[in-house]
């Protein structure tokens, strides 16, 4: 098997720009097969001589690899944490973020060209988080990274980080798992199914073979609305919107149901749906959502404590106090099952789950002390 990766740039030269690596064929946990996988990734900083300063940051469900702006003008999603002089100081550490298999930011996914020259579409196989970890390990090999100084992420990114620490314990020295538990619960799977069905039931979905035609935009936008409700807290929605009507609209003035105006919160969800449709592929949304459904570090490994006993990394666990998607209790369960005495750090944020993005700076001092001194 031949693995090809872009040569590592000099420090700062191409920070925050997308690179690509072919990692060869991938046999998948659920029985599928991808004959020629490409991973898209971004890097910041420079790998040192013994490759001991490499940090892997995993993106969340619809996140990109653009963690920090680097040499670009585009703001990254963890600017509070990553960059020159920041907690994860890119003058000191070599940071990499990899687009998950099944994604639509450059890695092989449903919209990618299959061997017959057509998009994979409905033929794209089920990919689990363990599959994505295996793929990422090959990229690490190609870049000369035998072990990570740290692997960290929030939400699905945290699940991916945890899977790395359990699947390849000798390759992860430190692991930060933020705003996610050891497995996807029944409720989380239920929310996820509602989202994937919203897409699949769009008249334009065509069983996933919509490329070249009209995309299932309404279904994708609805999926995002469902998801976004779980990303934000009831307190935030009430505080920001309450029962107020959208400007120049009248929710309680309509002769027939289809003519009423919107409440502000409805307009907000419409906006969130429209934003995602502009940047994301519906099939990738399904593929990655179902990968997150697969999240379970105990699968085939015994009870939780036994499964986690494989890991040898130093752990950092954190939760958002108002999270109603991945409840802090799941983080506490994970921490209690990990070897040693692992505390749960709390991000105090009234907005809910998305606090792992907007308020990650609250963990800067603790992460610096624990992992990045």
Question: CA-to-CA distance for 370 and 245, rounded, in angstroms?
Answer: 47
Closest listed residue to residue 25, CA positions, set 59, 55, 2, 53:
2
Half-sphere exposure of 324 toward its Cβ, with a 13 Å CA cutoff?
A: 15
**Residue 56 β-bridge partners:** 96, 151
- Which residues are designated catalytic? 155, 323, 353
Q: Which two tokens mark 134?
A: 């295996």
Question: CA-to-CA distance for 247 and 143, rounded, in angstroms?
Answer: 53
**251 in Cβ contact with 261 (< 8 Å):** yes
Angle at 3 between CA 146 and CA 44, to 5 degrees: 55
Q: Which two tokens mark 73?
A: 């003008």
Parallel, antiparallel, or unpaired: how do β-strands 94-98 and 150-154 relate? unpaired
135 phi, psi to nearest 5 deg: -60, -45
**177 in Cβ contact with 158 (< 8 Å):** yes
The SS3 call for residue 185 is: coil
């Amino acid at each position: 098997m031949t693995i090809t990766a872009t040569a590592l740039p000099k420090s700062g030269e191409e920070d925050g720009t997308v690179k690509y690596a072919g990692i060869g064929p991938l046999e998948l946990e659920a029985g599928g097969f991808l004959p020629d996988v490409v991973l898209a990734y971004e890097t910041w900083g420079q790998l040192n001589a013994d490759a001991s300063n490499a940090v892997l940051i995993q993106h969340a469900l619809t996140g990109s690899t653009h963690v920090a702006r680097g040499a670009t003008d585009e703001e990254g999603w963890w600017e509070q944490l990553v960059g020159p002089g920041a907690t994860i100081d890119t003058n000191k550490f070599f940071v990499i973020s990899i687009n998950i298999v099944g994604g639509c930011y450059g890695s092989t996914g449903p919209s990618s060209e299959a061997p017959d020259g057509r998009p994979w579409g409905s033929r794209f196989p089920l990919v689990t988080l363990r599959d994505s970890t295996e793929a990422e390990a090959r990229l690490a090999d190609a870049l000369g990274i035998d072990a990570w100084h740290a692997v960290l992420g929030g939400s699905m990114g945290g699940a991916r980080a945890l899977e790395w620490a359990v699947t390849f314990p000798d390759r992860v020295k430190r692991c930060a798992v933020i705003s996610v538990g050891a497995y996807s619960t029944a409720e989380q799977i239920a929310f996820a199914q509602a989202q994937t069905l919203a897409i699949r039931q769009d008249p334009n979905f065509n069983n996933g073979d919509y490329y070249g035609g009209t995309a299932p935009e309404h279904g994708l936008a609805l999926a995002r609305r469902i998801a976004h409700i779980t990303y934000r807290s009831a307190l935030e929605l009430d505080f920001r919107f309450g029962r107020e009507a959208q400007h120049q609209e009248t929710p309680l003035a309509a002769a027939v149901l289809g003519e009423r105006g919107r409440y502000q919160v409805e307009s907000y969800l419409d906006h969130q749906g429209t934003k995602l449709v502009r940047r994301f592929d519906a099939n990738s949304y399904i593929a990655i959502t179902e990968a997150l459904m697969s999240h379970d570090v105990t699968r085939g490994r015994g009870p939780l404590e036994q499964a986690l006993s494989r890991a040898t990394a130093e752990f950092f666990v954190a939760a958002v106090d108002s999270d109603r998607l991945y409840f802090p209790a799941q983080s506490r369960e994970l921490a209690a099952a990990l070897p040693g005495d692992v505390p749960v750090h709390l991000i105090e944020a009234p907005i809910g789950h998305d606090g792992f993005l907007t308020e990650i700076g609250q963990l800067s001092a603790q992460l610096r002390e624990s992992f990045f001194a």
